[in-house]
A and B are shown apart, each in its own frame.
Chain A
Amino acid sequence: MTTAHEPRRGPDVHLSTEDLSALAEGEQPTAEGASEHLLDCAACRAEVDAIAQLLAAFETLEAPQLPQEVAIRIDAALAREAAARASSPSADGAIASASQGSASSGRRRWWLSRRVGVGLASLAALAGGLALAVNLISSNASSNGAASSSGSAALRPDAASSGPRRAQGLVESPNTVAPTAPLAVWVKQTLGTTRPDLEINSPCLANPAFSGDQALRVVTGTFEGVPATLVIYPNGGDATTVRAVVYSQSCAASNYEVLAQGIVAK
């Protein structure tokens, strides 16, 4: 098939791509003598036909369905935005923006660092669904090939302290959290209640571990307006503090984002 030349007037020159499209849509071509040219030129007629067939083929396309996993991600992202906005005028604004990346530059870096892991993880989650989230957390999910294991690096609490692909808010050495910070308050509340040492009260977390330490407590609740899971780990050999991580509460693997973490005095 030939490609039409650039628009020129006159019957001896092929039609412009725009006129070919216009004719295929049943609209008026702009070039003088275009219709006459079409009668004489088999090549241009073939192009008009081909474009008309293409337009008919477009009619058969249907909207692809939004994957559930993507829908969940977006819901969670918007919920975080709403929570950040709700808390930003208050004194907690700094905490909210630090842990939720609402500054645009921070967000950009977060995206850059996060996309490899989570982009792939989201595909893996498409394939594996909820089972993957459980596997990732129980840290035995490296059998799914390179794609999902890089995803697990971003998402597994075990891997949280190594590598650049960390979920939002993770820092290399979590700082000790001020006793009045929401994270510390939640940790105190949780540790203050008399309960079994390990209570897993989450539909998603099976057997969380951090640097080999089993979690002391896993509880669900609300963190800065977002449904979240708090996991409390021992802080190495330090008996006076604990390491606490708050994950956004959703069972989709890519939603295992860290909302806050830090070292909290017992």
Chain B
Amino acid sequence: MLWIVSGTSGVEIGAPLTGTVIAPNADVRLGPTNGGPHHGAVFAKSVAIEAQSPFQLVPFSGWEQLLRPITPPDAAPSAAFRARWVYPNGQPIESFSYGPAPSGIHALALGQPGEAPTTSLSFEIQNLSSSVGGIPVAFSVTMKTWGFGNLYFDVPLRAADANHILQPGGIETVTVSNLAGTLGVKASDMPAKGDIVVSLFKVANGALAPTPFAFLCIPQFFYHFSDDLTQVFTYSLERASDQLAPSGMVAKDGVVERYAQGVFHANLFAPNGKLGDITAEQGRQNLLTTFADRPAQLFGIRWDAAAAGGTPGAVVPPGAAVGPNAALFNPADGPTGVCASWPTIYVDSGDEPFPPKSENEFKNIVDFLPAAFNHAQLFNADGTLIADEHLNAAGCFNDKKPLGKGNYLLRVFSTNISNNGARFDVTRFEPPQVEGKQKDVSVTYAVFLAQPGKTAPAGDTFNVTTGMWTETTHLTAFASHLLARDAAGVDFGLTRGTAATPKTYPIRRQHRLLEALQTPEGSVRRGQHHEGRTARRSRQRSRLAHLLPRTHHQYRSPCQRGRSIELVHQRLRRQLPHHVRHLPKLS
């Protein structure tokens, strides 16, 4: 039994106490019992145990049931957690464009010739101290891998455990010891990419909450990155600014420069490109053999840029040799649908004229948006035009195409959108320049259609998104890389429609922390006193300084708590950057 006395009048215990008394504003006097001892505990403004008064501690057993852990919004609406990358040697990874001074031997991708490849990766999760909002949490770690030639898959690195709590102020290191294996790299020198998401769970009464209350989206990294990015216009590919380098770090050359130097290990499209000890063509054939079950595969992308408002030029096959033309269409197979998607992060899923199909993927952190109404072209491998049209609302060519097994080129433009649809803008904001749209882009995919029409077990349509293969993406990674590289440097924005003012979304501010608040607004319980007419009596506020055990976080009456949570959510809605919850509606 727990007695909570709010007032200042003295508390008189004239008989053996059985229970716990909390009286932060009152003096408590325990009188002689003339019998058994007092059993319990007393937390009070002052305590006087009279003569002949034995007192036996009996802790109150109901703390955990009564004192609900405070939620992060209650505690720290701005930022309750943070996460950061560190190299195995403990050096923080602010951006992999920076390497520890002076040699840069810890670059994640293969670095300068002679550098050893990174075989393991560690990162820390740091919980803020309780004074700034940290609360005890359990956490799980998942790596979403995007190995070259593989569909993505999730690798659970650690399950949340109610008995393994990261306490406020605590730091825990998670190590991926077999990086290549975890990434699903199955062929020699396959490029890959990893996303790591840490899911945070509340723990109540020794049990995990069924769903996480927040996610930490840790900046992605590349492994053997080898996309053909020579024509990409993005400042993230430039050498990073020395002025922006974290303490103890030095800027390293960006991807373009390193690629040009041949240190990115491969050019899949160059006639004599190499993947380690094998040629790009051999690597391609190896992948076709290794992943023979794939209905289609991509063997490269190429980005082409034009000045803002301009038009990207003629299609440029990604590499000098994309392979032979496809075989003739076999009517027995039936036609094949071809669709394209833009991958992005933080996508609005509202009911506006955006394409209605915006499939949430991976806990809403990554979404794939159909390239609706985008201008697209389909070519034979030799550049012969097959189709030139605007995709429909689902991001597909309007009719299925008579395609045979073999090589094709698919090009999607970020401009010339016929209706409201998705497009990407590449902008720059790096002092002293001003923020603004810099380029229009197009992306060309080199597709190998292995199973045309109804020969494909999953259907007669395949979807190409920005990546090295079907049904998956690199652009998300690309954007993330771009954003993660230089927090002050670049915006990479998704926008829609030519009628709307192009907008970019400063995701850069989120690159280290993504809190996907899972509490739907409708689930917030309103306190009965918040509903209106129910009379509210005077509320007693008491401060129990330094008294309660650490594990007891905060007690509020149910109605007060409900109201508090709602107010916090109202405040959050005002304070959080709009893209955390959803992108703004565009008129």
Do A and B assemble together? no
Binding site for B on A (CB under 8 A): none
Binding site for A on B (CB under 8 A): none
